[in-house]
């Protein structure tokens, strides 16, 4: 492929991860950043009906922890290359060959994880994504036990207007009958393939091995549960109408085998919404148009949020970047989200990268006063970038498990800023801080991203601050178009949730109330050709005069108005998910 030269001037090829009929996947190191990536090489000369552009076009829209992120696309006259996440783990086909078969409980746990990603794909808007190639070799298991789906080479968008697929293709034995020309593939197609895959995991016998049919699993081992046998039988029916009709339905059946109530399971597992949102029958925790006045309601909601926070695994770490155009409420959001996190026992650090304004000084007077007396704290951000492992002395401890690294107003050493305030140092710092904190919240307005494009892929989630008015929507998009390349805009689009800041319940658009749903719809409506993928809101932050008093009192609004503790708590849960 590349001989001994660097690919694209920065990727050193280390090994071949896998070969298929249409592509080769290489393990590569970005020599500038020291990060590992998978590079998928696809020949343009292959005699295939498959559109090689389908996989990147689908992956760039998606944002799910079980799916690889796509970082870049490169092509020349002969080949097409996709730069994507390297998954450090085990291919389940190779593990199957090594182990022979897997225990029932393990297989059920994997199946539940796979259902989760299928639910995401099948409910994708505007067109559901049909994976079409579920099989052991396309499933990876990370070292912490998480499932990842790879190879979207034959995935397709399901369109109601289509009668049949454009191309019929799949892996023999795992592919459903309709993949061979009997109709349009849909979500039940993926359910069939998943059923065959589970059968292979449990019995160690593939669909292309004798007896060349899917037999009841208890024919091979009477210790298998009858319930799981019925699940696999229903998944693998030849007639799609006899299968589970959705991944949600299959998920419920799998969870029932484990003896867990589906509602409790979803409540604990899905932090993006609370119990009321799952049932969709009760009103939301916070009325979007008016703050609550009933004290008992506030206490109940806060207690419920606390239970949700307690259910989160504190052994993990997340990097969340809060961004937006100037004046959109970025720093206020950062401060309040961090305080909510710390209040719920997350070890949290704020990284204030806005070295032009350094606004965290205004919100944390204790930090500001310390910078006037202590030159080391005055240079906190630079010192943390230089030696992140010494964060306990380079960063400032606001209170208990809440930390801040920023610059004081009196720091002006341009040489040190030029030396340490760059992408490579930020990436290195984040790598170290991930091992020390549950949550790293970055304050970085949109205009600063032009100098830190390389760090984007190291951020788990963006919270994009936008108000519910046309100026804010247009300013957000224009800021991105001015400072970022199109692929970076698309990446932020895929990894973001909106924070509807300074929400005005009287604001109108086209004579209708400018709701958070309308903001999400408008910002992806084509005003920017690179920011068109569906986006959701993490929540609204109603306007209140209390925000203006935060700086005067040096007290975040969540500590003075309990309603806002609910607001930011819900938003934080959705960003963490």
State the Cα–Cα distance between residues 176 and 236, nearest whole angstrom.
8
State the Cα–Cα distance between residues 364 and 403, nearest whole angstrom.
11
Q: Please give the model's pTM, rounded to 2 decimal places.
A: 0.53
On the question of a common fold for 89-268 and 317-576, the answer reads: no
Half-sphere exposure of 103 (CA within 13 A, CB side): 3
Residue 436 is labelled as binding a ligand: no
Residue 470 in tokens: 């046309």
State the Cα–Cα distance between residues 142 and 136, nearest whole angstrom.
14
- Enumerate residues 6+ apart whose C-beta is below 8 A from 168: 179, 180, 181
Half-sphere exposure of 61 (CA within 13 A, CB side): 20
State the Cα–Cα distance between residues 349 and 553, nearest whole angstrom.
21
SS percent in the chain: helix, strand, coil, step 5: 45, 20, 40
Q: Could you list the pLDDT tens digit for every one of the 577 residues in the chain?
A: 556 688 888 899 999 998 876 789 999 998 877 788 999 998 887 655 556 677 777 877 787 888 888 888 888 888 889 998 899 899 999 999 999 999 999 999 999 999 999 998 988 877 889 998 999 999 999 988 899 999 887 877 654 444 344 444 668 889 998 887 656 788 999 999 999 999 999 999 999 999 889 999 999 999 999 999 999 999 999 999 999 999 989 998 998 898 765 555 554 554 333 333 434 333 333 333 333 333 333 333 677 788 888 888 777 899 999 999 999 999 999 999 999 999 999 999 999 999 999 999 999 999 999 999 999 999 999 999 999 999 999 999 999 999 999 999 999 999 999 999 999 999 999 999 999 999 999 999 999 999 999 999 999 999 999 999 999 999 999 999 999 999 899 999 999 999 999 888 888 888 888 999 999 999 999 999 999 999 999 999 988 777 767 876 778 888 887 788 889 999 999 999 7
Half-sphere exposure of 191 (CA within 13 A, CB side): 28
User: The domain 11-85: what is its CATH number?
Assistant: 3.30.200.20
Angle at 119 between CA 83 and CA 266, to 5 degrees: 120
Give the DSSP per-residue string, 320-353: EEEEESTTSSHHHHHHHHHHHHHHTT--EEEEE-
User: The domain 89-268: what is its CATH number?
Assistant: 1.10.510.10
State the Cα–Cα distance between residues 450 and 488, nearest whole angstrom.
10
Domain ranges of the chain: 11-85, 89-268, 317-576
Strands of the sheet containing 35-43, edge to edge, are: 11-19, 23-30, 35-43, 79-85, 70-75
Phi-psi bin for 561: left (phi > 0), alpha (psi -120 to 50), beta?
Answer: beta
State the CATH architecture for 317-576: 3-Layer(aba) Sandwich (3.40)
Query: Are 194 and 114 within 8 A, CB to CB?
Result: yes
């Amino acid at each position: 492929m590349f001989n001994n030269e660097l690919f694209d001037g920065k990727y050193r090829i280390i090994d071949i991860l896998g070969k298929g009929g249409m592509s080769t996947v290489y393990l590569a190191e970005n020599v500038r950043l020291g990060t590992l990536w998978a590079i998928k090489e696809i020949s343009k000369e292959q005699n295939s009906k498959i559109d090689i552009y389908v996989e990147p076009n689908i992956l760039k829209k998606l944002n799910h922890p079980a799916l690889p992120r796509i970082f870049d696309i490169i092509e020349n006259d002969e080949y097409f290359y996709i730069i994507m996440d390297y998954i450090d783990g085990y291919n389940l086909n190779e593990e199957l060959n090594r182990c022979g078969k897997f225990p029932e409980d393990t297989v059920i746990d994997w199946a539940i994880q796979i259902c989760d990603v299928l639910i995401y794909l099948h409910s994708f808007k505007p067109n559901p994504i049909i994976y079409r190639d579920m099989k052991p070799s396309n499933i990876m298991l990370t070292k912490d036990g998480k499932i990842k789906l790879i190879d979207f080479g034959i995935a397709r968008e399901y369109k109601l207007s289509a009668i049949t697929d454009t191309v019929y293709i799949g892996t023999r034995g795992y592919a459903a009958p309709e993949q061979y020309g009997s109709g349009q593939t849909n979500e039940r197609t993926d359910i069939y393939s998943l059923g065959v895959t589970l059968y292979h995991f449990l019995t160690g016998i593939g669909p292309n091995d004798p007896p060349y049919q899917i037999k009841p699993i208890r024919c091979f081992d009477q210790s298998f549960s009858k319930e799981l046998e019925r699940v696999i039988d229903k998944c693998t029916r030849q007639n799609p109408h006899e299968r589970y009709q959705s991944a949600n339905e299959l998920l419920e059946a799998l969870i029932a085998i484990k003896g867990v109530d589906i509602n409790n399971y979803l409540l604990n597992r899905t932090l993006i919404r609370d119990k009321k949102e799952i049932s969709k029958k009760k009103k939301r925790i916070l009325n979007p148009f008016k703050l609550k006045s009933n004290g008992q309601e506030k206490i109940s909601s806060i207690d419920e949020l606390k239970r949700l926070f307690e259910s989160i695994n504190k052994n993990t770490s997340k990097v969340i970047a809060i961004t937006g155009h100037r004046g959109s409420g970025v720093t206020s959001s950062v401060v309040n989200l961090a305080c909510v996190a710390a209040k719920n026992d997350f070890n949290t650090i704020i990284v204030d990268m806005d070295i032009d304004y350094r606004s965290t000084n205004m919100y944390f007077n204790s930090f500001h006063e310390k910078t006037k007396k202590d030159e080391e704290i005055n240079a906190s951000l630079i010192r943390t970038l230089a030696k992140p492992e010494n964060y306990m002395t380079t960063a400032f401890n606001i209170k208990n498990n809440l930390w801040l690294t920023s610059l004081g107003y009196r720091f002006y050493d341009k040489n040190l800023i030029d030396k340490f305030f760059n992408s490579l140092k930020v990436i290195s710092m984040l790598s170290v801080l991930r091992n020390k904190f549950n949550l790293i919240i970055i304050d970085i307005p949109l205009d600063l991203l032009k100098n830190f494009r390389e760090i984007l892929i190291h951020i788990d989630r963006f919270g994009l601050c936008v108000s519910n008015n046309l100026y804010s929507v247009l300013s957000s998009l224009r800021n991105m178009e001015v400072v970022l390349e199109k692929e970076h805009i698309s990446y932020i689009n895929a990894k973001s949730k909106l924070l509807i800041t300074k929400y005005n319940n009287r604001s109108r658009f086209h004579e209708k109330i400018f709701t958070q749903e309308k903001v999400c719809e408008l910002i992806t409506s084509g005003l920017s050709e690179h920011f068109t993928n569906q986006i959701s809101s993490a929540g609204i932050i109603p306007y209140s005069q209390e925000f203006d008093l935060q700086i005067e009192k040096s007290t975040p609004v969540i500590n003075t108005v309990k309603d806002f503790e609910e607001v930011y708590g819900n938003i934080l849960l959705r960003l963490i998910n």
